Structure 1
Amino acid sequence: MKKIATTLGMLTLCSSFSSQADTILGLYAGAQGWNMETEGGYSRDGDNRDFNFEDETKGSFYVAFEHPIPLIPNIKLQKTEMDTQGDITLEQQFDFGVQTFTTGSTLNTDVSLSSTDAILYYEFFDNDLISFDFGVNIKYLEGELLVVDTDQPTRTGYEDFSGPVPMLYSKLQLGLPFTGFGAFVEGSYLSIDDHSLTDYQAAITYSLMENLALDVTFQAGYRAFTLELEDLDDIYSDLEFKGVFAGIEVHF
């Protein structure tokens, strides 16, 4: 009888510890589909040209790990693609790459841009009603800009840029108990010298599944990313990517 009681006690203790570990440790994975509109333009000398960009549907993916260890930050990794295409008929001369494009030329552009975020953050509140995170985001940008003269396809201009950008990061999340609904605002921001970058999103969430093993949450919201560069690898830009998104987040 003592052996049976001891065994039951150990099983209860293990079950209690497992439940507690699931509460204080968290692994999150999410994916979003972003209906992205692009506005603005770029140049290599500060005399930017605004292109007529096409709307695109792009993806964003992330994973995050949270833990209860003091002083050691939580971590979130996120990847976002922002490739797009556009065109313009020049009203004045445009120099880009090693080419000079004359007034009246019709140009096509290919913009290949990706953002990789490594976010280190602390939780200052974390409950069913409110949670607030604050930290830093080391955002690594990679961009390739191609311009082609439609009348003379061999005339092309090409520039690229890349590098890490340290940004402040914060997230505020609110919940409505017993409804399954919630909301969050999340953003990274930097303004230094003449560079200005912002990346924020706001969304309504709804819990599709919630149990000890797995939580699944639906997200629907709006995201905007602005990229104003002043001579980063000889690139100047005033680009804005914005639009609605929908996504799914899984919490293990």
Structure 2
Amino acid sequence: MKKIAVAILAPVFIFSGAAQADTLLGIYAGGQIWDTENTGNFGSGDGNQSFGFADEKQNSLYLAFEHPIPLLPNIKIRDNELSTQGMVTLSEDFTYNGEGYAAGTTLASSIDLSHTDVTLYYEIFDNDLLSFDLGVTGKKVDGLLAVRDAQSENSLESDGWIPTGYAQLRVGIPATPLTVYGLANAISIDDSSVRDIEAGIEYRVIENLAVDVNLQLGYRDITIELDDLDGIYSDLQFKGPYLGLEVHF
């Protein structure tokens, strides 16, 4: 995704006095099952088409490393499944990737925008009641958007890095094992934008010197609006609730 990848404006935020939660090395491992409602449309410049996308269950897994070394950012790697399929009987002519489809044609569609996030971030605040992280994320995408009639499949692909700003806020609720949180990755360049926002509540099941185990309940919303990115135009939204589990060593 070359046009976005070369245009990141936000530098990595460097705070030499940023607080670090872990004395030596903290490791966070987690996973989520996400129940998505998928809506929107896509095309290749001759008008977008909606396909009545199916709702899907998606998975997300992550691993983060935090340390006490000033100036050196923490790192989080997150793998995100993001795919759906749909079908439509065209009410008017539709052209995709140079191939025309007449009104009345039944078209199936496949979208796979699964990607890996690599986030470098600093802990601006970090205590039991409030933590705030700030940094940048590179989203590595190998994207596929395809349509298929009775004869053949017609697909467009786009791959590369999408850089976004990153922020996460966590607020502990005093005298309870609960924490509310929100995090966001977002960028907007020209008429293209990517927004990945989630918010939730976390329950600390186990909390001791050896390991912390947290249950998560949240809501995530990914919106992808592309304007001539490698020939792709889209206005797609994946949103819905998720359940998660995080372990901190």
After TM superposition, the score normalised by the length of structure 2 is: 0.89
Answer yes or no: is the 8 Å Cα contact 2:22–2:67 preserved in 1.
no
Task: Give the C-alpha shift of residue 194 in structure 1.
Answer: 1.2
Q: Provide the residue aligned with 1:72 in structure 2.
A: 72
Contact 1:136–1:168 (CA under 8 A) maintained in structure 2: yes
Structure 1 unaligned segments of length 5 or more: list them.
1-19
> 2:93–2:100: 8 Å Cα contact kept in structure 1?
yes
1:33 deviates by 0.1
Q: Which residue of 1 aligns with 2:141?
A: 141
Compute the displacement of 1:22 (Å): 5.3
Q: What whole-Å deviation, never above 9, does each CA across 1:32-90 have from its counterpart, x for those lacking one?
A: 00001111011011511111011100100000011111111111000101111101121
Which residues in structure 2 correspond to 1:146-161 (within 5 Å)? 146-149=146-149, 153-161=150-158
Residue 38 of structure 2 contacts residue 237 of structure 2 at CA under 8 Å; is this kept in 1? Answer: yes
Cα offset, 1:159, TM superposition: 1.1
Aligned residues: percent identity? 48
- Residue in 2 aligned with 1:215? 212
The aligned residue for residue 17 of structure 2 is: none
- Partner Cα distance (1:54, 1:21) in 2: 41
Given candidates 178, 195, 198, the residue that maps to 2:195 is 198
Cα-Cα RMSD = 1.5
Instruction: Supply the distance in 1 between the matched residues of 2:127 and 2:23 (Cα, whole angstroms).
Output: 11
* SS at structure 2 position matched to 1:40: strand
Letter in 1 for 2:209: L
Give matches, 1:1-252, under 5 Å. 23=23, 25-45=25-45, 47-149=47-149, 153-252=150-249
Q: Aligned to 1:178, what secondary structure does the other structure show? A: coil
Flag structure 2 segments of 5+ consecutive residues without an equivalent.
Answer: 1-19
For these two proteins, the number of residue pairs brought into alignment is 230
For residues 214-245 of structure 1, give each alpha carbon's deviation from its aligned partner in whole angstroms, at most 9, with x where no partner exists. 10000001000000011111111100000000
CA distance in 1: counterparts of 2:221 and 2:198, whole angstroms: 6
1:155 Cα shift? 3.4
Q: Write out the 4+ residue segments of structure 1 that deviate beyond 3 Å after TM superposition.
A: 20-24
Once the two structures are TM-superposed, the CA of residue 24 in structure 1 deviates from its matched residue by 5.2
Larger mean Cα displacement after TM superposition, 37-46 or 222-231:
37-46
Conserved in 1, the CA contact under 8 Å of 2:21 and 2:126? no
State which structure, 1 or 2, has the greater radius of gyration over its C-alpha atoms.
1
Supply the distance in 2 between the matched residues of 1:82 and 1:233 (Cα, whole angstroms): 19
More helix by share: 1
Answer yes or no: is the 8 Å Cα contact 1:99–1:155 preserved in 2.
Answer: no
User: Are the counterparts in 2 of residues 98 and 157 from structure 1 also a CA contact under 8 Å?
Assistant: no
Residues 169 and 188 in structure 1, CA contact (< 8 A), matched pair in contact too: yes
Between the aligned partners of 1:207 and 1:23, the Cα distance in structure 2 is 21
Q: Structure 1 residues 124 and 22 mapped into 2: Cα distance closer, same or farther (>3 Å)? A: closer
